[in-house]
Chains A and B, each alone.
Chain A
Amino acid sequence: MNKKTKTPFFHIVKRGEIPRWESIMIHAIALILALILCAILTTLLTGQNPIDVYATMFEGNFGTERKTWILLHLLAVLLGISLALTPAFKMRFWNIGGEGQVLIGCMASGAVMHNWPQLPNALLLLLMLIAALAAGALWGFLPAICKAKWGTNETLFTLMMNYVAIQITAYYTIRWEVPKGSGKIGIINQASHKGWLPSIAGQQYLPTILVVALLTVLLYFYLKYSKQGYEIAVVGESERTARYVGIKVEHVIVRTMSLTGALCGLMGFLLVSGSAHTITTTLSDGRGFTGVMVAWMGKFNPIIMIFTSFLISFMGNGAQEVASRFHLNHSFSDILTGIIIFFLIGCEFFVSYKLSHNKKGKEE
């Protein structure tokens, strides 16, 4: 034995399946550590008692009925986008173009809404929906067909497509700006409410929330029990196996990515028609990226994703309240979100692997 060789203090062992409760415990511990770190950080920055800070966060989300609706809406949009991204990720297709796919959906439905306000409302809404689905599907189809045909790196492709979508939106924002020179389109069809999703029970956000709830259930069954869902899972686990059992991998890739794109487009439609009623380049607000993290942390399981997107929406919305009450900058919530995600993805390691201590003097 060479004298220079050092024995490390521990080595890493791959775990087999671990019981579900143990996995939940690991995540819970990571989450608690993240929240403690966030609390320490907030206290350092605001000089407030951390319990007060979390109480403020809670108030920011549940203080008034309106705040709760805002939270639910944020949750629904983030969850919807994450769900839309899930089929592609489950196939191990690294689509980080959710941002662009949502935005082009917004753009397409906004364009229909802006250009044909004279159509009957139901027809207009239908056309907006179709336009959004088609535009989103196109944004998903392009990288998928290149990946299937030539093996083009999909991460980089979809990333670039985001900016194509952003610039197209920026172009039309200036073309259609009202008033001229403002750089904003303003609320479309403010007076006639044409192309606006109707409020249900007086709640503007309720249609969006219901659609996302339905989407959650549908996707759960699609991924878990349908033949196509199974094909996605096989391609994701091992492309070679998929080929061996006769799955047309290229076909599955293109189909699944078009589906993901179309669902992102649907979220774009909901954003424009259900709440924003305008088009801006920031409508998606980074949620195409956050959705990637939510989908990944939720292990592509729609039910777990409800929880993760709730957590992120809660922290984000709460941090806004903390920021405004203690006169902090609103970017504060991004820092907290970042920290929580670092901990949650870091803890995955302890689910898959375990550290075992090397006893001194014993060599393998």
Chain B
Amino acid sequence: MFDIVSFFPRAVVQSVPLLCGSTGETITEKSGNLNLGIPGIMYVGAISGVIGSFFYEQSLKASGSTINTFLGIAIPMVCSILGSLLMGLIYCFLTVSLRANQNVTGLALTTFGVGFGNFFGGSLIKLTGSEVPSIALTQTHGCFVHKLPLAAKTGWFGKMFLNYGFLVYLAIIIALIAAYVLRHTRLGLNLRSVGEDPATADAAGINVNRYKYFATCIGSVIAGLGGLFYIMDYASGVWSNDGFGDRGWLAIALVIFTIWRPNVGVLASILFGALYILYLFIPTGANAAIKEFYKMIPYVVTLLVLVTVSMRKRRENQPPASLGNSYFREER
């Protein structure tokens, strides 16, 4: 029997990195910046958090004291935010200020970010001198997965909806706020106008570059939190090189799948998360290879959505019109 009570929570924890990545990327793309550096940024967000809590745990070990829950969460969070912010700034500086090509910059950022993550991950592993090629931050993991007190008492409902670390709820709240701001506020309207037609936005007195900078940096930070969640919550505080896999690209796929709507992303990311782990729950029998085909489903579905949306040509479902272009006032 297919056990939904155990399947659903696993799909949810799979979904959070995707949700963070896609919310961040949606905000970024709404400003007209196609940031293909998201996979790299998520790696950097993750490793920065790991570095922060690694040294915090080392100092605890040296002084022999126990972990302070607040610091245990705050230190990796701040480090992660700084790390991904820096990546966002590099991207903005190159594409907005120096008007470099966005695709090329994004890809370079991904190469750099993944390399950065694996390199410092590898160095920390060496510092610990452990036999296994991973770093375990069990104490920090403990801080991140404090559950809601009601979770144990409410039966299946608690198991399905209340039994998560705080980052899960944070990710959903961020996505909902982002959706609200994009659709219903002046700020969101301005941002969308920058992504659709920067020249018009400029003429209306909107500071195009400032919007692009802010949107991209906030987007990077949110995406970076996805990386942090993956390590501290999902992976039980264990960093292993390349462990994060291709979730960053899947997050970009999710942006298209949700047709640039973070609130849809909450459910869609759970769907993607479910597809990602579906093969674990479907009996494959002797044919182990077939699960590789199941893993293809999210991408194929995304492709279909992309093509259908472009065929139907409904204006509100299209990518931001100036997505991928730099803006230079004198070139109008």
Contact = CB atoms under 8 A, between A and B. Distances in A.
A157 B122 contact: no
B94 interface: yes
A33 interface: no
Contact of A335 (B101, B119, B324): B119
Nearest to A153: B319
A338 B112 contact: yes
B143 interface: no
A40 interface: no
Contacts of A333: 115
A242 to B, nearest CB: 19
Most buried by B among A155, A156, A168, A290: A156
Contact of A155 (B289, B310, B324): B324
Q: Which of B107, B109, B288, B307 has the most CB of A within 10 A?
A: B107
B115 A342 contact: no
Contacts of B292: 167, 170-171, 174
B109 A338 contact: yes
Interface string B240-252: 0100001001001
A63 interface: no
B112 A289 contact: no
Contacts of B295: 167, 170
Interface stretch (A108-116, A199-207, A215-223, A345-353): A345-353
B307 to A, nearest CB: 5
A292 B104 contact: yes
A171 B108 CA distance: 29
Contacts of A12: 328, 330
Given A329-B118, A329-B119, A155 B306 contact: no
Given A153-B310, A157-B306, A327 B126 contact: yes
A311 to B, nearest CB: 14
A159 B303 CA distance: 10
A94 to B, nearest CB: 5
Interface string A54-83: 000000000000000000000000000000
Interface in B82-135: 90, 93-94, 97-101, 103-105, 107-119, 121-123, 126
Which residue among B34, B36, B119, B295 has the maximum number of chain A CB atoms within 10 Å of its CB? Answer: B119
B8 interface: no
Interface string A1-40: 0000000000010100000000000000000000000000
A342 B311 contact: no
B290 A293 contact: no
Given A292-B103, A329-B118, A160 B111 contact: no
Contact of A171 (B34, B293, B328, B330): B293
A65 B98 CA distance: 42
Interface in B196-218: none
A339 interface: yes
Contacts of A172: 289
A152 interface: yes
B139 interface: no
A343 to B, nearest CB: 10
Contacts of B99: 349, 352-353
Interface of chain A: mostly helix, strand, loop or mixed = helix
Contact of A328 (B123, B252, B330): B123
B71 interface: no
Contacts of A249: none
Contacts of A335: 112, 115-116, 119
Contacts of B310: 146, 150-153
Nearest to A338: B112
B148 interface: no
Contacts of A290: 107, 111
A161 interface: yes
A14 B331 contact: yes
A174 B288 contact: yes
Interface string A142-180: 000010001111011101111110011011101100000
Contact of B299 (A45, A160, A293, A338): A160
B141 to A, nearest CB: 23
Contacts of A152: 306-307, 310
Contacts of A358: none
A177 to B, nearest CB: 9
Question: For B112, B116, B118, which residue has the most chain A Cβ atoms within 10 angstroms?
Answer: B112
A157 B311 CA distance: 14
A48 interface: no
Nearest to A289: B107
A349 B313 CA distance: 35
A12 to B, nearest CB: 8
Interface in A105-133: none
A337 interface: yes
A79 B166 CA distance: 47
Contacts of A157: 303, 306-307
Nearest to B125: A329
**B90, B116, B303 — which one has the most chain A CB atoms within 10 A of its CB?**
B303
B290 A338 contact: no
Contacts of B306: 152-153, 156-157, 160
B310 to A, nearest CB: 4
Nearest to A170: B292
Interface of A: 12, 14, 45, 94, 96, 146, 150-153, 155-157, 159-164, 167-168, 170-172, 174-175, 286, 289-290, 292-293, 296-297, 327-329, 331-335, 337-339, 341-342, 345-346, 348-349, 352-353
Given A329-B123, A334-B119, A345-B100, 12 more contacts: A153-B310, A153-B323, A157-B303, A159-B249, A164-B300, A167-B293, A290-B111, A292-B104, A297-B104, A331-B114, A332-B115, A338-B116
19 contacts: A45-B123, A94-B103, A150-B313, A153-B323, A161-B303, A170-B292, A171-B290, A174-B288, A289-B107, A292-B104, A327-B126, A329-B119, A334-B111, A334-B115, A341-B108, A342-B94, A345-B94, A348-B100, A349-B98
